[in-house]
Amino acid sequence: MNFAQDKLLEEVRKSGKDKRGLSLVVIGHVDAGKSTLMGRLLYELGRMDDRTRAANERNSSKVGKSSFSWAWGLDGTTEERERGITMDIALQSFHTKKQQITVLDAPGHKEFIPNMISGASQADCALLVVDASTGEFEAGFDRGGQTREHLILARSLGVAQLIVAVNKLDQVQWEKDRYDDICTLLRPFIVQSGFHPSKTKFVPVGALSGVNLAKCEGDEAQQLLTWYKGPTLVDLLDELEPPSRDFLSPARIPISNIFKGQGSGTSVSGRLLSGVVQVGEKLRILPGDETAVVKTIEVEEEHVPWAAAGSNLTLALVSVDPIQLSIGSVLCPPTDPVPLASVFTAKIIIFDIQVPIISGTMVELFHHSRDVPATVSKLISSLDRTTGKVVKPNPRVLAKASSAEVQITLRSTGSSTARPIAVEPYAVNKAMGRILIRREGETIAAGIVMDVQHV
């Protein structure tokens, strides 16, 4: 079924698939109950059967981790189960009345932030899970906790809609005051992070007992029902708006995972950021000089003849040596390649940092699933955060909470020269033009690519 490109676009328009489907990243401080909440929700929505649930319950009890039995619905690797934490991105999907939602369950642990960045860069919306139990919310929200960093990262990566699930309220006897206090503390920070209040919703839940996830009834829910008459978590997921998809631009697929396909060939997964892709199509792999042919496309566990922008997909590729594929590489049409750059200018917002940024500051640059060593090679100008106008050309330092235009140069490691990365100006392709900058395990800035110096 190989349509000519314009026929295919017509097909996409007619099907309305460019508008359907949302991907949701689940974020929050370690141990807030993210995986437990999602495991329980999948069960409530019929996406996990009783046999799997009983097996997870039995096996988690065997290793002394019975409280993690719901989380095992998403934390599938032996190491994740032994350590009781999420390390990688788990991908699941489910349907509500109106939506088809792909869930990216991101790790909350500080050492796995790069995986969380990879997950958030593939998402349209975020579900922030906070732990309401005494002392735990504060630990996650205070400086150094992951709640703040995750919110800033999600917003910086283009996520505009947010649901906050205040979890473990059963541990504080479903106190309304505790729920209200948490919402009051979070609201100003959420706005400060760049989320619009109209696109932010709060919901009280008890993930372990399944209260107010898909329904709010039964003995467990009685205390909550004395003061809460609002929507359930599923009701709020149903109200999320699928963003408009850019399916007219050339296809761009950053690879987030590579694995051996069934039978011959290699499979890659990632998000189709823009454009459309179809079976039989030839794709270029950048950086590099190789191409591959799409043998099959899988979306939501179904084989499809084509996919449009916004899909999280798995492609089986043939006519390519697997050695040419790497996480962070971008697949694109040979006729419309992504520019490669080792030097570019970017407009960045600097977060709450202790040590200012100066020209020559060494950093880690994150772009989708790729992270590379880089240097802030030139401070071009500091900008007014609200108007974007130049405040000062060639500043000597950039302090916290400032905005600036800078030049970033990729750094070589050891004897090898710096390999360019596939990146586009934000004005050309929003999803390909977002970057994050980290230093010594802390996210220090985020921004958009203004101009690329082609290799």
Kindly report the CATH number assigned to the domain that includes residue 312.
2.40.30.10
**E strand segments, 89-173:** 90-95, 100-105, 125-131, 161-167
- Residue 340 vs residue 51, higher pLDDT: 340
For all residues of the chain together, what is the average pLDDT? 83
Q: pLDDT value at position 380? A: 96
Q: What is the mean pLDDT of residues 36-64?
A: 70
* Coarse DSSP helix, strand, coil percentages of the chain, rounded to the nearest 5 percent: 25, 35, 40
Q: Give the C-alpha separation, 263 to 370, whole Å.
A: 28
**pTM of this structure:** 0.75
Helix (H, G, I), strand (E, B) or coil at 80: helix
Which residue among 219, 239, 259 closes a domain?
239
The answer on pLDDT for 15 being more than 80 is: no
Q: Is the same domain home to 93 and 198? A: yes
**E strand segments, 151-211:** 161-167, 200-204
Q: Is the same domain home to 327 and 376? A: no
Provide the 10 A C-beta neighbour count for residue 413: 11
Q: pLDDT value at position 239? A: 92
Which residue among 175, 207, 239 closes a domain?
239
Residue type, 289: D
Q: Give the C-alpha separation, 228 to 8, whole Å.
A: 48
Which residue among 194, 214, 239 closes a domain?
239
Q: Is the same domain home to 315 and 391? A: no
Q: Is the same domain home to 55 and 194? A: yes
Q: Is the same domain home to 134 and 153? A: yes
- Residue 6: band (very low, low, confident or very high) from pLDDT cuts 50, 70, 90: confident
Tokens of 381: 């100008």
Alpha-carbon separation of residue 367 from 186, 249, 410, 414, 422 (angstroms) = 28, 19, 12, 22, 9
Q: Give the C-alpha separation, 239 to 36, whole Å.
A: 23
The answer on pLDDT for 106 being more than 60 is: no
Q: pLDDT value at position 65? A: 46
Which CATH number belongs to the domain containing residue 195 in this structure? 3.40.50.300
Q: pLDDT value at position 82? A: 47
For the sheet with 125-131, list strands across it.
90-95, 100-105, 22-27, 125-131, 161-167, 200-204
User: What is the DSSP secondary structure assignment for residue 206, as one 8-state letter?
Assistant: B
Q: Give the C-alpha separation, 292 to 280, whole Å.
A: 10
Range of the domain at 281: 5-13+246-332
Number of domains observed in the structure of the chain: 3
The answer on pLDDT for 66 being more than 70 is: no
Instruction: Give the tens place of pLDDT for each residue, 245-260.
Output: 888 899 999 998 888 7
Q: pLDDT value at position 18? A: 43
Provide the 10 A C-beta neighbour count for residue 81: 18
Q: Is the same domain home to 260 and 215? A: no
Tokens of 10: 């017509």
Q: Is the same domain home to 71 and 214? A: yes
Instruction: Give the tens place of pLDDT for each residue, 109-151.
Output: 455 566 667 666 667 899 999 999 998 899 888 867 778 878 8
Q: Give the C-alpha separation, 357 to 212, whole Å.
A: 45
Q: Is the same domain home to 132 and 195? A: yes
- Residue 59: band (very low, low, confident or very high) from pLDDT cuts 50, 70, 90: low
Q: Give the C-alpha separation, 395 to 406, whole Å.
A: 10
Q: Is the same domain home to 90 and 206? A: yes
Q: Is the same domain home to 206 and 268? A: no
Instruction: Give the tens place of pLDDT for each residue, 384-415.
Output: 877 778 999 999 999 987 889 999 999 987 76
Instruction: Give the tens place of pLDDT for each residue, 230-286.
Output: 999 999 999 998 888 888 899 999 998 888 766 667 889 888 999 999 999 999 999
Q: Is the dihedral of CA 365, 152, 242, 305 positive or negative?
A: positive
Q: Is the same domain home to 93 and 228? A: yes
Q: pLDDT value at position 281? A: 92
Helix (H, G, I), strand (E, B) or coil at 256: strand
Instruction: Give the tens place of pLDDT for each residue, 291-346.
Output: 999 999 988 778 999 998 888 888 999 999 888 898 889 999 999 999 999 999 99
Instruction: Give the tens place of pLDDT for each residue, 20-44.
Output: 578 888 888 877 888 788 888 888 8
Q: How many CA atoms lie within 13 A of 199 on its CB side?
A: 18
Q: Is the same domain home to 42 and 153? A: yes
Alpha-carbon separation of residue 133 from 83, 164, 173, 206 (angstroms) = 22, 15, 10, 11
